[in-house]
Structure 1
Amino acid sequence: MYIYDDIDQRIIDERVAQFRDQTRRYLAGELTDDEFRPLRLQNGLYIQRHAPMLRVAIPYGELNTRQLRKLADIARRYDRGYGHFSTRQNIQFNWPALEAVPEILAELATVQMHAIQTSGNCIRNTTTDQFAGVTADEIIDPRPYCELIRQWSTFHPEFAHLPRKFKIAVNGAIDDRAAVWVHDIGLNLRHDSDGQIGFQVIVGGGLGRTPIVGAVIREFLPREHLLTYLDAILRVYNRFGRRDNKYKARIKILVKALSPAVFAQKVEAEWAHLQDGPATVPAAEFERLEAFFVDPAYEKLPMEDAGFRAAMAGNKAFSKWVERNVRAHKVPGYAAVTLSLKATGTAPGDATADQMDAVADLADQYSFGELRVSHEQNLILANVKQADLYALWELAKTNGLATANIGLLTDMICCPGGDFCALANAKSIPVAEAIQQRFEDLDYLYDIGELDLNISGCMNSCGHHHIGHIGILGVDKNGEEWYQISIGGAQGNHASLGKVIGPSFARADMPDVIEKLIHIYLTRRQDEERFIDTVRRIGIEPFKEHVYAKAH
């Protein structure tokens, strides 16, 4: 993973000192709320429903164990003993005292972490595939390019005050696990006919109030032109994006208003002034960045470990966990393991300080001291020997991290909702817990099969409800919490947006509603097709009719 140089460290240390003085002046009454607001947002500090919330950046979701232990320490000393891993591959602390935030930032700086550009109208944390560098379907490792974008975008003066927040995702595999089609900019790494590395460039995707699947504006961009082309896109957005209405300020609205073809023409015209300029990336810089992401010291192992196979045959629970939570690796004898943060009764994405320390121990012992955060709000150990999987599973069970539900209905994405967020129309966490309890039977979950259920507490779609096979959106009706259901959304290579099935439901009805949707799926599916495939084949009407049918 990337290691700070002296310049990186100095930048972060100076920002901490700057914010310490800004906080001191605010607490002394020398800065007003309006004056302090942009300063705290520049450092990832929100004022939520009950307390400040600090969002800490985890660049492209990659952590070492020293960093994770620091996050655990912060959770214990400055929060309420836990943190929330978000869909942006970041972590949020929901209860820090305002006067303690400069100290937290200083602590983070000691392990090369910060909270810069995790909020505000700027370029946010670039996200990518949680299995980057380890899967057989990978074309090109996206992490060096994510790091290049991070360095380019951090404190970029031209893009510090964009019309709205801006999100970039990079995918380097055949299967899109980074949701590039629903980002402001999505980048698919690929080779051209001569074997040169470059990007398919997608612009104008996004969720929120106006969900849109992005459009390709360039099929192949040579990698050396990445930064100049991103500059061109951002300049067009900065120039023509709306600033009079925040609900119409995202780049997706501009692309739709102009049309993707016209937007692409404007980008190409702007790029003509930048192409081959100073921001063109030389081959030596790619080599420098790639050197931070070399493979660990893998051992030469057999394709399959005999002890692992015996454990699979002799322990059904272990076998089911392997089926759902363990992914094939590019290196024989290794595997990638997803540690579930979706145990019943736990808010999706939450991890206690003890769990974070336990994961750090597991990563040190079994995965070269490194781990990943997924945008599905789980943690990944990417380089585990097959021979170690059984021992790892037993330790993960002890720490509540071995729920065998990855890719199943209870592996849901869920925002903090009205329990914490001042923007939310409704609570998300109690709905998630009620559904978890209804579908706690793992055998039933396996019968249902692959299903993405995503929950958002408001139209901002932090829970990505638009791209859930089943999406749940909290809405306000005369001061009461209700929930709207959509079906048919999906991320990945065939991204789609869900369609609302009808009027919203009361919170108490949600488990019954989900069960009715599952019932229609199980009665109408063909062969082993997934829920999303059944919806695409028969449409939403059969689901709608059953859910709203009156009991006789």
Structure 2
Amino acid sequence: MYHYDEYDRALVFERVAQFRDQVQRFMGGELSDEEFLPLRLQNGLYLQKHAYMLRVAIPYGTLSATQMRTLARIANDYDRGYGHFTTRQNIQFNWIALEQVPDILQRLAEVDMHAIQTSGNCVRNITTEAFAGVAADELLDPRPLAEILRQWSTINPEFLFLPRKFKIAICSAAQDRAAIMMHDIGLYLYRDEQGEMCLRVIVGGGLGRTPILGLQIRDGLPWQHLLSYVEAILRVYNRHGRRDNKYKARIKILVKALGIEAFAREVEQEWQHIKDGPAQLTAEEFQRVAAGFAAPAYQRLDDADLEFGTQLSLNPAFARWASRSVQPHKVPGYASVVLSTKPGLASPPGDLTAAQMQAVADWSEQFGFAEIRVAHEQNLILPDVRKADLHALWQLACEQGLGTANSGLLTDIIACPGGDFCALANATSIPIAQAIQARFDDLDYLHDLGEISLNISGCINACGHHHIGNIGILGVDKNGSEWYQITLGGAQGKDSQLGKVIGPSFSAAQIPGVIERIIATYCAYRELDEPFLETLHRVGLEPFKERVYAVHEEAPTCAM
């Protein structure tokens, strides 16, 4: 993984000192709430319902064991013993005292971490897929370019005060596990027919109150022009994006208003002025950064490990976990492992205790190369585990509550913190997620159903990405009461889709039964092992709506 150089460290430590002074001035009455607001947001500090929330950046979702242990200590020393991992590969601490924030930032800086630009109208954390560099279906490793984007965008004065927040994701695998269609800029890295690295550029994606899929603006962009082309897009957005209405300020609204052709022309004109300037990348600069992502010292192993195969045959529970949590690796004899943060009632989706963080850090050293990844789905990944060690790792993960065999299944729920914490939320998310998990607690049944994504957002800001869940749940306010709207048919990846609202909303108490009826309808109509989305597309929404709103009909069961 990439390690900070002297420039990175100088910048981060100077920011800590600067914010320490700003906090002291605010607490001493020298800065008003209005003056302090943009300063704290630039350092990832939000004021939530009960306390301050600090969002810490985890660039492209990569952590070292040392960094994970630091997060564990912060959770114990400054929070209530846990942290919440987000869909954009960050971690949030929800119970922070303002006067302690500079000390937290100091601890982060000491292990090459920070909270810079995790909020505010600027370029946010650069994300990629959690299996970057090790995925069997990967074309190229996108992490060097993600790191180059991180360095370029951090405290870039031209783009610190954009019309609205700005999110960039990059991937380079057969499957898009970075959800690039849902970002302000999505980048797909590949090799052209001549073997040169090129980029496909997508703009104008985003969820929130106006969900829109991104549109391709350019293909075949030489990698050397990554920064200049992104800069051209940001300049056009900075120049024309609305600043009079925050609900219409995202780049997706500008792209829709101008049309993709007109927007592309503006970008092209801007790019012609800067494409061969200082932002053009050189092979030397790429190699400097890429050296930080050199492959670790893998052993020469047989891909068909005898110990792994034996344990699969002897232990059905282990085999079930392996079928969902063990992912193919590009190096023979190795695998990547998903550690589920979705155990049901034991813990909210995405939450890890300090003890669990410490355990994951230990496992990353015991079974890998001291590296951990954060997935878009809020789970953690150990990227380099020998197949011979999988059974031992599984046993330890089960002891820590991180061995639930539900990766990609119905109870692998993406959920924001919702109304339990967030001041913007209309409704709670965590109790709804846990009520669904409690209703569907039979793992054999979940495995029979196959892959179904369920995402929950507590408000229209869509931090839980409900629009792209196969089943989406949105919390809405009705005269001061919490209700929940259901969407069906969403999907992420190369075939991204936005879900459609099925009808009137439901009370919290009704939601588990509603999900049960949706699943039962799927079971009634699916053919053989047909996935949920294929059944939905084939039969349409009507059968689902009819059964969901048949309130006096006994909820059918799903015989598998």
Q: TM exceeds 0.5?
A: yes
Deviation at 1:392, TM superposition (A): 0.5
Deviation at 1:538, TM superposition (A): 1.5
CA distance in 1, matches of 2:342, 2:101: 28
SS at match of 1:307: helix
CA distance in 1, matches of 2:243, 2:220: 31
Which residue pairs with 2:90 in the alignment? 90
CA distance in 2, matches of 1:241, 1:271: 18
SS at match of 2:46: strand
CA distance in 2, matches of 1:509, 1:447: 24
CA distance in 2, matches of 1:26, 1:495: 45
Which residue pairs with 1:370 in the alignment? 371
CA distance in 1, matches of 2:73, 2:6: 25
Is 1:180 matched with 2:180? yes
SS at match of 1:404: coil
More deviation in 526-535 or 21-30? 526-535
Which residue pairs with 1:466 in the alignment? 467
Which residue pairs with 1:28 in the alignment? 28
Equivalence map 1:356-395=2 (5 Å)? 356-395=357-396
Is 1:250 matched with 2:244? no
Structure 1, residues 29-72: CA drift from partner, whole Å, max 9, x if none?
Answer: 11110011000000000000110000000000000000000000
Instruction: Name segments (4+ residues, structure 1) moved above 6 Å.
Output: none
Which residue pairs with 2:190 in the alignment? 190
Which residue pairs with 1:351 in the alignment? 352
Which residue pairs with 2:489 in the alignment? 488
Which residue pairs with 2:266 in the alignment? 266
Which residue pairs with 2:558 in the alignment? none
SS at match of 2:485: strand
What is the identity, as a one-letter code, of the residue corresponding to 2:324? Answer: R
Structure 1, residues 183-232: CA drift from partner, whole Å, max 9, x if none?
Answer: 00000001122111010000000000100001000011100000000110
CA distance in 2, matches of 1:444, 1:136: 29
Structure 1, residues 479-537: CA drift from partner, whole Å, max 9, x if none?
Answer: 00000000000000100000000000000000000000000001101121111111122
Equivalence map 1:149-548=2 (5 Å)? 149-345=149-345, 346-548=347-549
CA distance in 1, matches of 2:430, 2:109: 31
What is the identity, as a one-letter code, of the residue corresponding to 1:183? Answer: H
SS at match of 1:384: strand
More deviation in 311-320 or 522-531? 522-531
SS at match of 1:427: coil
Which residue pairs with 1:144 in the alignment? 144
Deviation at 1:143, TM superposition (A): 0.3
Alignment RMSD (CA, Å): 0.6
Deviation at 1:368, TM superposition (A): 0.7
CA distance in 2, matches of 1:152, 1:486: 38
CA distance in 1, matches of 2:335, 2:7: 36
What is the identity, as a one-letter code, of the residue corresponding to 2:375? Answer: S
CA distance in 2, matches of 1:295, 1:533: 38
Equivalence map 1:43-192=2 (5 Å)? 43-192=43-192
What is the identity, as a one-letter code, of the residue corresponding to 1:149? Answer: L
CA distance in 1, matches of 2:106, 2:143: 26
CA distance in 2, matches of 1:491, 1:375: 11
SS at match of 2:273: coil
SS at match of 1:95: strand
Deviation at 1:541, TM superposition (A): 1.1
CA distance in 2, matches of 1:188, 1:466: 22
Which residue pairs with 2:4 in the alignment? 4
What is the identity, as a one-letter code, of the residue corresponding to 2:106? Answer: A
What is the identity, as a one-letter code, of the residue corresponding to 1:245? Answer: N
CA distance in 1, matches of 2:136, 2:100: 45
SS at match of 2:491: coil
Deviation at 1:115, TM superposition (A): 0.2
CA distance in 2, matches of 1:303, 1:35: 59
CA distance in 1, matches of 2:123, 2:540: 37
SS at match of 1:128: coil
Structure 1, residues 440-475: CA drift from partner, whole Å, max 9, x if none?
Answer: 110111121100000000000000000000000000
Structure 1, residues 408-449: CA drift from partner, whole Å, max 9, x if none?
Answer: 000010000000000000000000010000001101111211
What is the identity, as a one-letter code, of the residue corresponding to 1:504? Answer: S
CA distance in 2, matches of 1:493, 1:38: 36
SS at match of 1:272: helix
Deviation at 1:27, TM superposition (A): 0.6
CA distance in 2, matches of 1:285, 1:537: 50
CA distance in 2, matches of 1:136, 1:82: 33
Q: With structure 2 as the length reference, what TM-score do the two structures score?
A: 0.98
Which residue pairs with 2:557 in the alignment? none
Residue identity over aligned pairs, in percent, reads 64
CA distance in 2, matches of 1:526, 1:131: 32
CA distance in 1, matches of 2:72, 2:332: 33
Deviation at 1:550, TM superposition (A): 3.5
